[in-house]
Amino acid sequence: MQEAAVFDKIAYQYDDNRGGEERGNRFAEHILPLLDRDTRVLELGVGTGVVAAAIEKANVNIIGIDASSEMLKRAEKRVSHLVWSDMNKLPFLHEYFGGVYAVWALHLSESVPQMLKEIRRVLKPSGCFLNCSAVNRDLVEVNDTAEKIVWEMHSALAGAELTVDGPHQLEALAPEAGYRFERVVDIKREYEITPNELALHIERRGMSILQQATEAQVRDIINPTIEALRALPDEKLRRHRVHQISVLRAI
């Protein structure tokens, strides 16, 4: 469980870097209308529990699973039912859940196609799987130098395909995994950030793509990115982001 070791190291600052309860409430607001609230629900990669806590407050019977014990220590203060386990092999019976969702987690699985099949195994017929992928590069307008520097870093670290669990990828995989791809729900957000704040975010490994970087990647890609951002005028830059929830129905 290599991913677990990575998240164990960053658990203490994860909420500060990823928006904490404000982010959890924002995502839950969009996820809740898509769920059947009268059934048992699973969150994959529950992390510190900020999304699951907001879902549970809406009287949904939710279980969160995560491989990181340090993340779960923070989640247990917020969520009633948690399981410490690798999500690639779910420790649940067939057709145990009426709904499953993941926020910024599916791309961390060993294989997205296999993970979709494993999720389908624990889903009841006609149950839904909701996947919120990280920011879709195709929907980002690069309007300033800082944005360009950051996306060049992303491309250098991720290679040709930055997104492995976006709507286009899941729509192609859905039939073989036992789903009908229904639709996409956009979560739009605007905020301001300075180049120095971006540099600090990268320095703290606030993006999942940074968390397993090799020493060579840190030296040759990440550190030069931080230096380039800190060399820019430290003025507020407006950001427009779209996170996308793919809705898949078990068939």
Digit-coded pLDDT (tens) for 32-80: 999 998 999 999 999 999 999 999 999 999 999 999 999 999 999 999 9
Contacts with 26 (C-beta within 8 Å, 6 or more apart), sequence order: 19, 187, 189
* Residue among 68, 118, 76 nearest 96 (CA): 118
Least confident of 28-37, 99-108, 206-215, 220-229: 206-215
Look at residue 174 and tell me whether its pLDDT is greater than 70: yes
What is the reported pLDDT for 76?
Answer: 96
Which structural domains are found in the chain, ordered by start?
2-250 (3.40.50.150)
Taking residues 207-219, report their average pLDDT: 86
131: which 2 tokens? 């996947």
Taking residues 225-243, report their average pLDDT: 93
- pLDDT cut 70: percent of the chain above it: 91
- Find tokens 């300033």 and name the residue: 144
Look at residue 9 and tell me whether its pLDDT is greater than 80: no
Look at residue 27 and tell me whether its pLDDT is greater than 80: yes
Exposed, middle or buried, 187 (CB in 10 Å: 0-12/13-18/19+)?
Answer: middle
The model's confidence at residue 102, banded by pLDDT at 50, 70 and 90, is: very high
Q: Are 41 and 97 spatial neighbours (Cβ–Cβ below 8 Å)? A: yes
What is the reported pLDDT for 154?
Answer: 87
Q: What angle do helix axes 223-230 and 145-158 make, rounded to 10 degrees? A: 180
Taking residues 3-16, report their average pLDDT: 73
Exposed, middle or buried, 76 (CB in 10 Å: 0-12/13-18/19+)?
Answer: middle
230: which 2 tokens? 């800190």
- pLDDT cut 90: percent of the chain above it: 69
What are the angstrom distances between the C-alpha of 140 and each of 96, 202, 226, 235, 239? 37, 18, 20, 20, 9
Look at residue 138 and tell me whether its pLDDT is greater than 70: no
User: How far separated are the first and last CA of the chain, in Å rounded?
Assistant: 31
What is the reported pLDDT for 6?
Answer: 73
